[in-house]
Amino acid sequence: FSFRLRQSGGQRTTHYEDDGEYNREAPLTLQRESAHYFGYVYFRQVKDSSMKRGYFQKSLVLVSRLPYVNLFQSLLQLIAPEYFDKLEPCLEAVCNEIDQWPPPLPGQTLNLPVMGVVIQVRNLLPAPLVLPSIHELDLFRCFQPVLIHVQMLWELMLLGEPIVVMAPSPTVSSEMVLALTSCLAPLRYCCDYRPYFTIHDSEFKEYTTRTQAPPNIVVGVTNPFFIKTLQHWPHILRVGELKMSGDLPKQVKVKKLTKLKTLDTKPGMSSCGLILSTFPVQSALLRRHLLELTQSFIIPLEHYIASLMPLQRAITPWKNPPQIRPFRQDDFMKTLEHAGPQLTCVLKGDWLGLYRRFFRSPNFDGWYRQRHKEMTQKLEALHLEAICEANIVAWMKDKSEVEIVDLVLKLREKLVARCQHLPVKEETLRRVGLYIETIIDSLPEDLQAVLHHH
């Protein structure tokens, strides 16, 4: 099973110097976490009469900032049995091998040798252990018990609603929570989630208090004690049979999922109709159904936000680039009549109500920030290109030295600080460099020396 925990305070250190480079290339759902760790666990329990409890119990835990659930669970299945048998020397050998692995490169096939096996991540060549995906779960298998609610669950996730998943084991709990957080793809789920949460977690008090509303989080639990302590949460999803134990009263009622659904599913159109013979096919269909649902919802937002970008002809070389216009929710709502989800999605219902609730969720905030950042970078890149296409010599003719030096400093700042992050062609960067040289060469020698020195 797996869990996720908040990083405590103190100095934040990372093995990779530049998270930015990996995170720029990786899809949103696979980016390295900065404030949380993932724990991937292989737990063994064997009868042993020599032990006080009558059982030998031990876990091997792999901790990472990367959400590669398939890769790390597969790795643990190779390592853990050997480790329980041979203990530390085995682990030391494995760590030495993992130290030699190349860093994760988005879009590349990597061969990762460990314990005489090569794990190939990316399904291209035949290898002893091939993982078609480093992170995707078998969605259909996870959602099978709740298929009838799949669309409602999608809505709850979209809106960042607090959900408790009560499951009979950590495996079922963590898989269900991870399946839920992945069902918004390609939209990023921006709220917190805990695949397996216990009473020993440091946030236990925070989540069980009744003095404030539950946080935007999906929590997976197995301890029946939580039925009592989390019964004030608005959405409780029970998967499988919980083992009732301890002093819980028999009459504890578990709240069913609230009737939140704003979209209506017609018979034959819901994902519940996907009854085929194999899990992978069903999973692919279910994933596609959820993807189409998310795309129908997000495309109108993408169209509207693209309309807030200034026109290219408004970007002139010697002025700061124009601003992106503000996102006005009422203006967006007016566009839905002609370009809403109803054009691409067969589901009818209160789409407007769903958007209004979405605007209040962390997922909207996360989506908007990311898109705004990308658009700002695009504007910077277009501005840089506009400068490169302008006639610099003609511009310099009637300018004072102060204005020319100011331009040099501005161009340098763009080149150094921004170009690493901007979607700019190499040729443009080369031309900016040449521009700077041309401008400096036109200045008196004492100024040239100062600028070259800096």
DSSP code string of 70-90: HHHHHHHHHHHHHHHHH-HHH
The per-residue pLDDT for 247 is: 45
The per-residue pLDDT for 307 is: 93
The per-residue pLDDT for 68 is: 87
From first CA to last CA, the distance across the chain in angstroms is 54
The per-residue pLDDT for 12 is: 52
Answer yes or no: are the C-beta atoms of 2 and 171 closer than 8 Å.
no
- Domain spans of the chain? 1-134, 136-309+323-363, 391-453
Answer yes or no: are the C-beta atoms of 220 and 174 closer than 8 Å.
yes
The most distant pair of C-alpha atoms in the chain lies apart, rounded to whole Å, by: 93
Identity of the residue numbered 20: G
The per-residue pLDDT for 259 is: 47
- Centre a 10 Å sphere on the Cβ of residue 376 and count the other Cβ atoms it contains: 16
The per-residue pLDDT for 76 is: 92
The per-residue pLDDT for 365 is: 94
The per-residue pLDDT for 366 is: 92
Residues pairing with 119 in the sheet: 112, 129
Residue 192 tokens, joined: 């917190």
CA distance 146 to 144: 5
- With DSSP H G I counted as helix, E B as strand and the rest as coil, what are the percentages for the chain, rounded to 5? 50, 15, 40
The per-residue pLDDT for 7 is: 83
Q: Which residues contact 209 (CB under 8 A, 6 or more apart)?
A: none
Pairing of strands 163-166, 235-238: parallel
Omega of the bond leading into 186 within 30 degrees of 0 (cis): yes
- CA distances (Å), 301 to each of 328, 331, 434, in order? 11, 11, 40
The per-residue pLDDT for 300 is: 92
The per-residue pLDDT for 219 is: 93
Q: Please list the pLDDT of the chain residue by residue as tens digits (454 residues).
A: 999 988 876 555 544 444 567 777 777 777 888 888 999 999 988 888 888 888 888 899 999 988 888 889 989 999 998 888 888 888 999 999 999 998 887 777 888 888 888 888 765 333 344 445 555 667 777 777 777 778 888 899 999 999 999 888 898 899 889 989 988 888 889 999 999 999 888 888 888 888 888 889 999 999 888 888 888 888 888 887 655 444 444 444 444 444 445 544 333 222 222 333 365 667 777 888 888 888 889 999 999 999 999 887 788 777 777 889 999 999 999 988 887 777 667 677 788 889 999 999 999 999 999 999 889 888 888 887 887 777 777 777 777 777 777 777 777 777 665 556 667 777 777 777 777 777 777 777 777 777 776 6
The per-residue pLDDT for 328 is: 95
